[in-house]
Amino acid sequence: MTPIRLGMVGGGADAFIGGVHRIASRIDGDYTLVAGALSSTPEKARASGKALGLDPARSYGSFEEMAEAEAARPDGIEAVAIVTPNHLHFAAAKPFLERGIHVICDKPLTATFEDAEAMAEAVAASPALFILTHNYTGYPMVRQAQAMVAEGALGRLRVVQVEYPQDWMTGAVETEGVKQAEWRTDPARSGAGGSIGDIGTHAYNLAAFVTGERPERLAADLQSFGAGRQLDDNAHVMLRYASGARGMLWCSQVAPGCENGLRLRLFGDAGGLEWGQENPNHLWFTPHGEPSRRITRNGAGAHEAGVAVSRIPPGHPEGYLEAFANLYTEAAGAIRAVQDGAPRAEVMGKLPGLAAGQEGMAFIRACVASAREDAGWVAL
């Protein structure tokens, strides 16, 4: 099929997440990047466009200019990737949604709850799809874990443990010219959440995706260990579910020795599951009273839910970029279905969208409220 014409806002030539989105969009050949407003100033934006080989006429100085110009072209973009810092997500997405251009947005949804409400209104008023890139849901063994839980392999869920530790902000990197740290420690650009917004929302979303359950209440203890930091860099969160299950979420960016340690453990009355992002092709399943079993991606015991999003035989590692690509490929299928007349509400499938973004924002708000003056348990 003809590749979907893709634009990008943010994610200039030296931006990590912009590069990830571009690679993910290309892996299965579903998109071609044809336009961009790639940086915060017109000069930097056009320089990045040149470095990435964009037509100079379609390398724009602002996202407003890009949305207007692309919507007027017969060969204009069909979808746009928003990969800016959090505070620009709504402002960047709005002009494209208004023109019926599908939006693929990095998480979290926005920096503020006011922007989140405005985003919801813009999505509701638009015929376009809105997709949020909670990319860890794209791993084959995460899809397998979700299917096993849904089929009752664990029995009644009792305990949810999810953690996401990193160490890259152990030092004062925000004062040393590290741009990724500069905006993540700035409430005006990051929002109310530091580590809970950046990586805690990933952990929260992963647990919700696999279990199919959302906690009703939480109690959070947030810390800012970095001297002078206004936002949390470490968080411990207890979770209570309506089903009676209990959970714990830990996220940290000041844990030396931890690179990208996203890990999920689930325990029910019939068995347990464990998956870790740094070894993503393995899933450990322990039926109660039996030895633990290591299930490998596309190996013996692989579930069709995981096989469906795998590309290569077992023993050949698939990882972060391929998981990200699975979201882009599923987004392409949804976009084409809408273009063929399918109702928007029916095509999203497993794709995270506005609802996942709103849940993430509610999680951040509840954590901040709970941690403020040790308020304790807060409803979600």
Q: Give residue 347's pLDDT.
A: 92
Superfamily of domain 139-314+361-374, CATH level 4:
Dihydrodipicolinate Reductase; domain 2 (3.30.360.10)
CATH code of the region 4-128: 3.40.50.720
Q: Over the stretch 243-255, which tens digit does the pLDDT of each residue have?
A: 999 999 999 999 9
Which helix (H) or strand (E) segment holds residue 226: the answer is none
Cα–Cα distance for residue pair 207/48, rounded to 1 Å: 37
Mean pLDDT of 110-129: 96
Burial of 124 (0-12, 13-18, 19+ CB in 10 A): exposed
Mean pLDDT of 288-317: 96
Cα–Cα distance for residue pair 273/144, rounded to 1 Å: 11
Residue 67 has pLDDT above 80, yes or no: yes
Helix, strand, coil % (nearest 5) of the chain?
40, 20, 35
Q: What is the largest CA-CA distance in the chain?
A: 65
Q: pTM value?
A: 0.95
Unique residue bearing structure tokens 């979700």: 146
φ and ψ at residue 149, rounded to 5 degrees: -65, -45
pLDDT band at 373 (very low <50, low <70, confident <90, very high): confident
Residue 42 has pLDDT above 90, yes or no: no
* Structure tokens, 244: 């009676």
Domain boundaries, the chain: 4-128, 139-314+361-374
Q: Which residues of 210-233 are buried (b: 16+ CB within 10 A; e: fewer)?
A: bbebebebbbbebbbebeebebbb
Q: Which residues of 256-267 are buried (b: 16+ CB within 10 A; e: fewer)?
A: eebeebbbbbbb
Q: Over the stretch 92-108, which tens digit does the pLDDT of each residue have?
A: 999 999 999 999 999 99
* Structure tokens, 238: 């207890």
Q: Over the stretch 168-219, which tens digit does the pLDDT of each residue have?
A: 999 999 999 998 999 999 999 999 999 999 999 999 999 999 999 999 999 9
Torsion of CA 16, 20, 23, 25, to 10 degrees: -140
Mean pLDDT of 4-17: 92
pLDDT band at 109 (very low <50, low <70, confident <90, very high): very high
